[in-house]
Amino acid sequence: MIHVQPVSRQSVCKLHDLPSRVRIALGATVLLLSACGSDAAWRDGEPLRSVEAELSQAERMARYAQIRDAAATRGIDHTAYLLAGIAYAETNLAHCWSEATWACQGPNSADCGGGPVIAGAADGPCSDQQGGLGMFQFDAGTFTDTLNKYGADVLTVAGNTSHAIDYVINMVKISDYTTNAETNDKALAWINNFDINNGTLRDQWIKTVTHYYNGCKPSYSCWSQRYAHYNESLQYVIDETGLPFWVVVTDKAPTGYLDSASCDGIRGWAQDPDTPDQSIDVHLYFDSVPGDANAKTLVLNAGGHRDDLCSALGTCNHAYETPVPRSLMDGAQHTVHVFAINTSGVGPNPELTQSPATFQCNPPAPPVDAAHGVRRWVTTQEIFGAWKFSGFLDVAHVSDAELNAFPKGPDWPAAPLLAQGDDGSPEVWSIDGTSRRHVMSMDDLNAWRFDTAAIEKWSPSKLAAQESGLDWPHVPFLVQGTGPEVYVIDSSAAAGAAGAAGSSGAAGSAGAPGAGGSDAGTSDAGADAPPHAVFPPSSDDGGCSAAPLRQPPSAGVVLLAASALLAARRRRTRRSG
């Protein structure tokens, strides 16, 4: 019984007059503040008597479920057996007077079919209306005092349990026996992290209940008996229900929208209500659905900021956005399905509202026209992979006439080579032949999917030996005609410097302008082409791409950690001014 004000020793000690058959005490538990008037009262008290509740095993299981479900709404999703152990020790799970008709009748409750809840009989005659109420025996004095303090919901099983949770959290927080539970949040975490098979934690819990819920201190003669009573009651609950019974799946499905899918991009938002402040992933399926063996997918993080989400969702960073994959910008109609991924890893991954959607886009325009650009041949599948290109995401399909309008430039470098001065300079350079080309921002780094860990430290003199070329393109733009050859479209001025270098290591060109690739965009690659100079149009990174499209990254795309590049950008701007 939870008392919130001192009561007389005589009223508490009347518990010994109650009938007994089961070792469960109604009204035997009181706070330390209300312990029979003095420490001596506990030391010279008689052994704990017990009472019986008239619940069948099936009815007890139903009551356990009520405790479990009420606790789940308060964030206790698998250890509510701790509360049930107290309730079993207090009233043998009885909440209604009809379940223990020997006790006093409390106020009426809807959970008792409109009849009275159980009321403790230890505080005087039932006519005094002073006993604890309900399964956890809340007692602020008279029935009216208790209802005024806790509210009418204390008469329901859920409300009685919820108030018990408040008390138990505070009890764990102030306990001399628990550790790392100094705040309400830590106390709740302590309860949720409780392991029934951990002897240390179990001892801490039973000591806490005996001392702070029952009011019996270790120095009192009642200690051993009541410690054993609570321990045995807890074990009875575990044995009767089993631990799996107490696990509540509280996983809620993510929610969100596919706001639009057009040639301007695919955008929307998604949030997992179980982790509302955490960004989640969304999976995009193009012309396919989950389970398709050849599904083309794109994985985005819905972590972009959108002002309109702040008040609607409580947090702002749940937006996703990406350009349409270039291979699907072919004049045909395509469909996209968007699914939100549950943060639990095991819960539902629902399709978002307004998904699927369709789009139909013409081939995109290259970033530079044929008069100012060149096509640089990606000569092998290995080089294609070394640059982490994707045939699905990065390659635009064009006519042979459009392809051949671009003059041939030097072959594309064999692999990325990034350099940065070892003198603390923030600029990052992509080495292209004998030229160094400034990677302007962390957005550009991300768009090219460069590995910042692979940036080499060069001396200023070594960097200065490289001709300062045009800035590195913001995004990769690859094209393919009717043949299997794939090209990167680059500025003719930048490619001229790269081609003049000839072969020069990992990022050197494979030859002078015009030395590689075909004249017609078909498979006549030339006698000097390497053995794997051509590869089929479908060659990419597999059926499922987990990286964003190589276009200016949206807010939903995770950026690489390259904050120094922003400083470099500002520094370069000042120099050019």
The domain ranges of the chain are 2-242, 255-360, 373-576
Q: How far apart are CA 165 and CA 243, in angstroms?
A: 19
Closest CA to 300 of 339, 345, 334: 339
**Tens place of pLDDT for every residue, the chain, 577 residues?**
443 332 222 222 222 222 222 223 333 333 333 333 334 333 333 344 344 567 899 999 999 999 999 999 898 989 999 999 999 998 899 999 999 898 899 999 999 999 999 998 766 899 999 889 999 988 889 999 999 999 999 999 999 999 999 999 999 999 999 999 999 999 999 999 999 999 999 999 999 999 999 899 999 999 999 999 999 999 999 999 999 999 987 778 999 999 999 999 999 999 999 899 999 999 999 999 999 988 999 999 999 999 999 999 999 999 999 999 999 999 999 999 999 999 988 778 999 999 999 999 999 999 999 999 999 999 999 999 999 999 999 999 999 999 999 999 999 999 999 999 999 999 999 999 999 999 999 999 999 999 999 999 999 999 999 999 999 999 999 999 999 999 999 998 766 555 554 433 344 333 332 333 333 333 333 323 332 233 333 334 434 333 333 333 333 333 233 333 333 433 333 333 3
Give the dihedral sign, CA 172/176/180/182: positive
Residue 351's SS3 state is strand
The CATH architecture one would assign to domain 255-360 is Sandwich (2.60)
- E strand or H helix at 475: none
Instruction: List strand residue ranges (DSSP E) for 56-202, in order.
Output: 104-108, 116-119, 138-139
Q: How far apart are CA 577 and CA 572, in angstroms?
A: 9
pLDDT at 53: 64
Instruction: Find out whether 430 and 545 touch, Cβ atoms under 8 Å.
Output: no
The Cβ-side half-sphere exposure at 101, using a 13 Å CA radius, reads 2
pLDDT at 386: 97
Token digits for 314?
């409580």
Q: How far apart are CA 470 and CA 98, in angstroms?
A: 87
Q: How far apart are CA 298 and CA 541, in angstroms?
A: 11
Closest CA to 510 of 525, 530, 489: 530
Closest CA to 398 of 495, 298, 329: 329
The Cβ-side half-sphere exposure at 373, using a 13 Å CA radius, reads 21
Q: How far apart are CA 426 and CA 457, in angstroms?
A: 11
Instruction: Find out whether 359 and 326 touch, Cβ atoms under 8 Å.
Output: no
- Give, in degrees to the nearest 5, the angle at Cα 512 between 511 and 513: 120
In single-letter form, the type of residue at position 227 comes to Y
Token digits for 431?
């080495």
pLDDT at 359: 97
Q: Tell me the residue length of the chain.
A: 577
Q: What is each CA distance from 399 to 479, 483, 526, in whole angstroms? A: 10, 10, 21
pLDDT at 252: 85
Closest CA to 104 of 229, 11, 208, 197: 11
Which phi and psi angles does 136 have, rounded to 5°?
-100, 5
Token digits for 161?
């349990």
Scan for tokens 């079919």, then name that residue. 113
Token digits for 213?
């819920």
pLDDT at 241: 96
Residues 320-342 pLDDT 10s: 999 999 999 999 999 999 999 99
pTM: 0.53
In single-letter form, the type of residue at position 479 comes to V
Neighbours of 17 (CB within 10 A): 9
